[in-house]
Amino acid sequence: MHELSITQSLVDAVLNRTGERTVTAVNLRIGPLSGVLADAVRFCFDVAAAGTPLAGARLQIDEPRGRGRCRSCQDEFNLSDLILLCPCGSADVEVLSGRELMLMSVEVA
């Protein structure tokens, strides 16, 4: 499960910035096209945070919708996966959002 190693690198990235300070909340943004499941990160977070100043921190994950724009007909539509196909039949689709995999901010005591 790659979410475990991604969650571990999340914890490391936070600790790099916050050191010994107690972290009370972690804010992430994970899009549906990122290849990472927000639920799996939630599941892994407590394990990865245990024994660190992040233990017990509130994890908030913003999950933006996937949006694409067709370069052929200029139509914009929701994307639920990486099969980039416009209803008009064109596969020339630009991903506008949904690939985010970001550590946005943390709150420290």
**Which residues form the interface with other proteins (CB under 8 A)?**
1-2, 5-6, 8-10, 12-14, 16-18, 24-25, 28, 35-36, 81-85, 91, 101-109
- Binds 47, which of Zn ion, other proteins, none (CB < 5 to 8 A, cut-off by type)? none
Question: Binders of Zn ion among 7-26, rule CB under 5 A?
Answer: none
2 close to 36: Cβ distance less than 8 angstroms: yes
In which residue are the tokens 């209803």 written?
87
User: Strands 23-30 and 58-62: what pairing?
Assistant: parallel
**Torsion angle in degrees (nearest 10) through CA of 98, 55, 18, 39:** 0
E-strand stretches of the chain: 23-30, 58-62, 66-70, 76-79, 93-97, 101-108
CB of residue 10 to other proteins, shortest distance in Å:
6
CB of residue 64 to other proteins, shortest distance in Å:
14
- Binds 16, which of Zn ion, other proteins, none (CB < 5 to 8 A, cut-off by type)? other proteins
Q: How far is CA 31 from CA 25, 38, 95, 99, in A?
A: 20, 8, 11, 5
- Binds 63, which of Zn ion, other proteins, none (CB < 5 to 8 A, cut-off by type)? none
CB of residue 39 to Zn ion, shortest distance in Å:
17
Where do contacts with Zn ion occur on this chain (CB under 5 A)? 2, 70, 72-73, 75, 86, 88, 90
